[in-house]
Structure 1
């Protein structure tokens, strides 16, 4: 049976993305392997360091750039991260200067908020209620 090993989020600048995803969101750098002008750069949750890796994927493919831009213009998050308390995380991130396109909002059995990752994406934070 297969299991998820890595998933990715497209970023316009890998170094800027690494700073945001580690210093602001709290992930830990897992892999940083040079590959020509880019690198295989992944982060993981500090709570699941051997879990699924998030690849900060450079935007070198024009159709991917179009897709990323269309999602953001439509207000659609590229991906979603689980948090224990959306309200608390929202306030923590606001205090760090993070911009949100959606404040914490109940949506059925979850509470969600949506932030700008400064690298071309909206990211949804989700708390199960």
Structure 2
């Protein structure tokens, strides 16, 4: 058996706000946006890989989801990581656009990492390989 990542999800406190952040700030593109009653089946993909893994922007409506999300943020733990070409440049661009940089770019072995606030209840790690 060979498993592959087809879909993963993050909890968000507001799907519309999440859609704006993930598309307009991080450059993802909408793959699916399907009404499902009160919420939506809302997935985004990398603009560089439209048939690649999908990220589900999942409502944190369940109390356990909210508790999990809040506990991660309280402890300063990112819920996921995304690769970018240059973390330092990405943070400069995001900060100029009003995004809170929770942890400034720093070297971590062969990587440069930083943590940003996605405005939807999560900390997100950005990473890039050192030049």
Distance 1:66 1:59 in 2: 9
Distance 1:106 1:25 in 2: 21
**Cα distance per residue 1:15-41 (max 9 Å; x no partner):** 110001001111101100111100100
Q: 1:33 corresponds to which residue?
A: 34
Distance 1:39 1:81 in 2: 23
CA positional deviation for 1:102: 0.5
CA positional deviation for 1:2: 2.6
Distance 2:75 2:62 in 1: 20
Does residue 1:9 correspond to 2:22, yes or no? no
TM-score, normalised to structure 1, is 0.97
How many residues end up aligned between the 2 structures?
A: 129
Q: 1:99 corresponds to which residue?
A: 100
Does residue 1:55 correspond to 2:56, yes or no? yes
CA positional deviation for 1:59: 0.8
Q: Which runs of 4+ in 1 moved over 6 A?
A: none
Q: 1:23 corresponds to which residue?
A: 24
Distance 1:24 1:87 in 2: 15
**Cα distance per residue 1:48-107 (max 9 Å; x no partner):** 110000000001111111111000000000100001111111111111110011110001
Q: 1:42 corresponds to which residue?
A: 43
TM-score, normalised to structure 2, is 0.96
CA positional deviation for 1:6: 0.5
Does residue 1:117 correspond to 2:118, yes or no? yes
Unaligned residue ranges in structure 2 (runs of 5+): none
Distance 1:55 1:63 in 2: 17
Does residue 1:86 correspond to 2:87, yes or no? yes
